[in-house]
A and B are shown apart, each in its own frame.
Chain A
Amino acid sequence: MRQSNLYVILFSAILTIVLGGLLAATSVGLGPIQAKSVELDTKGQILAAVMEVPEGADVLALYDKVIKSEVLNYKGETVTTDADGNKVVAEKVEIGKQFKKPAEDRLYPIFKFYGEEATDEIKSYILPVYGNGLWDNIWGYIALNTKGTEIEGAVFAHAGETPGLGARITSEEVQSRFAGKELYNEQGEFVSVEMLKGENNPPSKLDEHHVDGMSGATLTGNGVTDMLRNYFKYYQPYFNKKEGATAAL
């Protein structure tokens, strides 16, 4: 009986239904909590680029207080609907998915930071960045000054860089090296920021366009350099337009 084909098929079918049902129930049941975790994680990272988030702070409330966001297209124009006519929300735009499209078709969220006291004045702009590390994708959030010319803060994350080597881009110590770096030289030409090879480079090499590298993780560092250069370029039209508007006034 236990070995008959019918029994085997019935047993497998029932097992599949029971286990499948269990998993489906868990997934549906935990769905809202998971979505909240993802939201918390994203907003926490955005905030970390511009300010020190106090331990145990209500990240979501803080975020709503100090950040306003919009979505741009490749030309730097504000868009409110995507290609299919759906409404877009900057926080919901998945940078990883956008990254797979050609640069001209992507959506570019931008986050405006109004200062920890939430004044009327924009204190800095935060851009999401996305690129390729050594083993897998890397991404992060870069805070720029209001002119879009100087880095004020950076956070990075990664999917699969080597722990202790490339994975160090997530450490505060490495991220802090980017603060104060300039995107344009004195002639106003775009030069971006480069992460150097090797660590503890002499100060002569570490000017306003060069960041000390990570020993043993040059390729991850190159990934960061490329990612930053690309995304600074993508957002250039937006800052240029703003500059033009203020000049016209």
Chain B
Amino acid sequence: MSTETVEKKEVKESESLLSKRRKNLVKDPLSDDNPITIQVLGICSALAVTTQMKPTMVMSIAVIFVIVFSNLTISLMRKLVPGRVRIIVQLAVIATLVTLVNEVLKAFAFDMYKELSVFVGLIITNCIVMGRLEAFAMGNKPYDSVLDGLGSGLGYAWIILAVAFFRELFGSGAIFGFKVFEAIGFTADGWIGLDYQANGLMVTPVGAFFILGLIIWVQRNKTGYVEH
């Protein structure tokens, strides 16, 4: 019996750093198990920050940072955390990391801080982060947890970036602040002879709902996923 356990352990330890299982930890949340479109978590910030690409980009980086490092921290101390207070411990770790992000933004990217500070604070309540801690980091090794966090973070990031792309494009006629429609001639004195009329719906949260709905539709059509 004892030899069997030892054997098993050795198999596990020799698992390559990028084995198939570990690759799937990163890959699954990108599409098949996406936190926003499949698990429908983190919708609030997907609506709030996505009017423009630039703040969305900063938000994505902040969420990936928080989710990876909180997964790592919780995984490292998973055997020490008392079960009865685990949720509040997770929250404390998340809140600390979020505050760190906010302080760093305030010091080195003040413009972004002014624009995003409210939403960065709300990462604390982003269910994706909490969900990964509770569902994964509490029961898995640190390296796996980092990969899992990275996967979920990236899954979240590409969806909100996609939403922001369409909202900024149609809502302000720009991408990263670059006026796309003006550049291709949508001006009063350009060859089209008309100014681009910004779509006001896209700058309101309602616009994000529409785009999110369309993305989910396309994705589920492709993957064949159905709710049970």
Contact = CB atoms under 8 A, between A and B. Distances in A.
A157 B118 CA distance: 16
Nearest to A136: B118
A30 B111 CA distance: 16
Contacts of B106: 30, 34, 37
B96 interface: yes
A220 B107 CA distance: 30
Q: Describe B's contact surface by its main secondary structure.
A: helix
Contacts of B108: 33, 37
Given A15-B92, A19-B96, A164-B200, A27 B83 contact: no
A3 B80 contact: no
B131 to A, nearest CB: 21
Interface string A29-43: 010011001101100
Contacts of B37: none
B48 to A, nearest CB: 10
Contacts of A3: 82-84
Most chain B C-beta atoms within 10 Å of own C-beta, residue among A11, A15, A165: A15
B82 A164 contact: no
Interface residues of A, number: 27
Interface string B10-45: 000000000000000000000000000000000000
Contacts of A38: 110
A23 B203 contact: no
Interface string A2-34: 110001100110011001001100110010011
Contact of B103 (A16, A30, A162, A163): A30
Nearest to B172: A164
B171 interface: yes
Q: Describe A's contact surface by its main secondary structure.
A: helix
Contacts of A30: 103-104, 106-107
Contacts of B83: 2-3
Given A34-B106, A165-B200, A15 B84 contact: no
Contact of B51 (A19, A27, A33, A164): A164
A8 B82 contact: yes
Nearest to B171: A164
Given A22-B96, A23-B96, A33-B108, A11 B200 contact: no
Contacts of A16: 92
Interface string B71-111: 00000000011111100110011001001100110111011
A110 to B, nearest CB: 24
Contacts of B198: 164
A163 B52 contact: yes
Contact of B100 (A15, A23, A162): A23
A151 B28 CA distance: 58
Contact of B99 (A23, A34, A163): A23
A216 interface: yes
10 closest Cβ pairs, A-B complex: A164-B203, A37-B110, A33-B107, A163-B51, A30-B107, A19-B96, A8-B82, A34-B107, A34-B106, A26-B103
Interface of B: 51-52, 80-85, 88-89, 92-93, 96, 99-100, 103-104, 106-108, 110-111, 113-114, 118, 171-172, 198, 200, 203-204
30 contacts: A2-B83, A3-B84, A7-B82, A8-B84, A11-B82, A11-B85, A15-B92, A19-B96, A23-B99, A23-B100, A26-B100, A26-B104, A27-B103, A30-B103, A30-B104, A30-B107, A33-B108, A34-B103, A37-B108, A37-B110, A37-B113, A38-B110, A40-B110, A41-B111, A162-B204, A164-B172, A164-B198, A164-B200, A165-B200, A216-B200
